Structure 1
């Protein structure tokens, strides 16, 4: 997020949607507002359900706790792909907020995965993720740790019958390969979908859900918009990935679930569909993807 964006502060509330939808992927623990404030603002514009996503053990524990407290908040728990190498290498800096950590190695990663599995078994936890691969600025040792972690998360999601939430950055072929080798869970979500139309068609053939974020509004995102047009409506989700990927016209300012209407309207415009009909599909698809009753 740019310094200018921070100085401008939070964007204003957009026009409310007439159909209630869910933010399928957000990080309220990284946002300025409390959960109560976040939910109130979101509900005022028609965003009534959130999937709070953990990226390390501490964040996953918090996600499970708030999902246990709030009826319209569901949790997904995991080690983010960039967290796995830090655990293995014993790096206390960067993504993790756990403070002191073990000396590292695969034993430390397996210990962290055991903690994630304990959280995944909770009823309010509906997803395992975000997990996957991130090849951006990741060396061979880091890639090996990510793959080990990704395979473990896939097995965990299947064992507990939870949705698998995938982070895929510059790693499409390897993510698809590992899903093929391990066998994907019945419900698999590509969070912040970043592929092109061909990738969208591949995901559609496998029945993978594709969740689109505010970056579809960016000027340089035509391949992403082409993917959105190629994806079947019944496999579409919408998310913020807040506080990141704030949609236009507020790019660079802090994102939050209440900005979902901007992305939904941009999606509808790209697909040349009614905003209301697309919103109904997005709501139903998110409930189906994460396994909760529509209207929960």
Structure 2
């Protein structure tokens, strides 16, 4: 696994926070339902911990040291899903919102070395690995509890250079909290060949995603009904847990590769930003490390080869 540099020239702006939106009801397939077919209600947006499994212990005391210097170019070697010395299958990371170096050994890792200009909203490090069972992702950072309409967002192209999925400029779903944040009304400029097939986001820390979660989890743009109606991947299919200062999530192969066939070799590419409620503004931190003065211009992607 490795990541390479792409050059893109453009200018984009910085900003702050505002606004929120009504949450739609969804059927079991993750698609929006109208009022006539509404069933069970979505988890409450007012309770930041409402999606947390009572049996899951989250370490809210973990603090990231703002003075710690992180190497933006750090990438771990590809350990795959096997221990080469012993020939045994290694254990995958535990999706509990607490990131450990040992459990993420073998992951590709990128970090930001600049201090955030949005107090309380931080991106520190992103780790990702492809294993036989799927894509594992960890984001170290947090969202300010006093600005719950901000979101950590990650866009994923599951086969860089192919045309399936959605261009970021086409996204216009405003009927869910993270759907709105993932629909950039002030578009990102991305490298040629990057089209988003999937995205992950959260606007709540210390939370475990539950069911079709409006505030934390994955969205599928390949199976979207339209650019204004994203397909919601349930937490049962793709679990996410956020602690106080980090989130971990897992996307199974059956979801990651749905409808692709045997598309190998390929490059899975991704990038992360913090965005305000409608995706129009981002602070200066970028993952992978990019130009902090132009966070809406994406010239560097984290690339996973297989």
Q: Please give the TM-score of this superposition, normalised by the length of structure 2.
A: 0.29
Q: Please give the TM-score of this superposition, normalised by the length of structure 1.
A: 0.30
- Name whichever structure is richer in helix by fraction: 1
- Name whichever structure is richer in strand by fraction: 2
Q: Give the number of the structure with larger relative contact order, counting CA–CA contacts within 8 Å between residues 6 or more apart.
A: 2
